[in-house]
Amino acid sequence: MEKLVEQAAGVIIESRMTVALTGAGISVESGIPDFRSAGGLWSKYDPAEYATISAFRANPKKVWKMLWEMGEVVGQARPNKAHLAMGELESIGLLHCIITQNVDNLHQAGGSRNVIEYHGNSSTLSCLWCGKRYRVEEKRDENPPRCECQNVLKPDVIFFGEAIPEDAMRRSFEFASSAQALLVVGTSAVVSPVNTIPSIAKRSGAKIIEINRERTHLTDSLTDIFFQGSAGEIMPQIVEAAKRKRGKPLP
C-alpha cells in the first residue's frame, strides 16, 4: 500500500491538471447508502415509479415520499475524510476540478470549490411552473414543499428522463480532455454519459488512479494505479504523501 501511495502522489505532483471523478461510494462513509445497494432507495422505491421526471409531473406528492426519506439521510450526512482530503488537495493547488455524480453537497462542505455536479444538488428546490427557487432549509417544515404559487417544488437533482445540464457536460469533457491525472473515487463509472470521462482522459494521456472497494471494469482496462479499500483511509494518505513530496511541512 505504501508503495502505491507514493506512486499516486508522484503522479499528482507531476500533473499540471488533476481531475477527480466521484460517485456514491465516496459518500457511503458519510452514512449515505448507494441507491443501488441492499439498503439503498431503489430497494424500497421502484425508480420507474418514483425517480422519473414524468412520475414527478404526474404525481409530485407521491414522489415526495421517496424524496423526503432521501432528504433526511442526506441532511444528516457530514463530509468524511475522503471529502476533506480532496478539499485540502484543491487548496494546495494539486486538484483542479471534481466531477461528481452525487447530489449531497458533501464535496463543497469538505472544502472543494471547483465542483461539477453531473446530477444536480439536493440543497435547493425549484418550481417547474413559475421558476422560483428556494433553499431546502426554507421549506423544511413543509411536506411536500410548495412554491408561493402553490405548486409542489422539485429538488434541483436530475431525474431519469431529464437531460444532464449542458454546462456540466461541456466543462467535464473539457477538464477530462486536459487532465494529466484522473482520480476515480467511489464509482464504477458505468452510468452514461459520465462513464466516458475515464476513457476521454486516458486517450488524452492521463494517468488513472482508481480507489474503489471492489474492482470495476476500469481496473484492468484503463486504471494505472488501483487501490482496493476505503477512500476515507486512502485519500488522506495520498494527500500527505503529495505534501511531503512538495516539501511542505506536516501540520
Q: Which of 83, 96, 107, 119 is catalytic?
A: 119
Q: Quick check: 34 pLDDT over 90? A: no
CATH of domain 34-76+122-157: 3.30.1600.10
Range(s) of the chain covered by CATH 3.40.50.1220: 1-32+79-119+164-251
Q: Quick check: 248 pLDDT over 70? A: no
Active site residue 119: yes
Confidence of residue 250 (pLDDT cuts 50, 70, 90): very low
> Which element (helix H / strand E) includes 100?
strand 97-100
User: Which homologous superfamily is 1-32+79-119+164-251 in?
Assistant: TPP-binding domain (3.40.50.1220)
> Which element (helix H / strand E) includes 238?
helix 231-245
Task: State the Cα–Cα distance between residues 31 and 84, nearest whole angstrom.
Answer: 15
In residues, how long is the chain? 251
Query: Exposed (0-12), middle (13-18) or buried (19+): which is 220, by Cβ within 10 Å?
Result: exposed
pLDDT above 70 as % of the chain: 96
Q: What is the pLDDT of residues 194-223, one digit of tens each?
A: 899 999 999 999 999 999 999 999 999 999
- What nine digits make up the cell of 15? 500533473
Task: State the Cα–Cα distance between residues 216 and 220, nearest whole angstrom.
Answer: 8
Cβ atoms of residues 107 and 86 within 8 Å: yes
Range(s) of the chain covered by CATH 3.30.1600.10: 34-76+122-157
Q: pTM for the full model?
A: 0.90
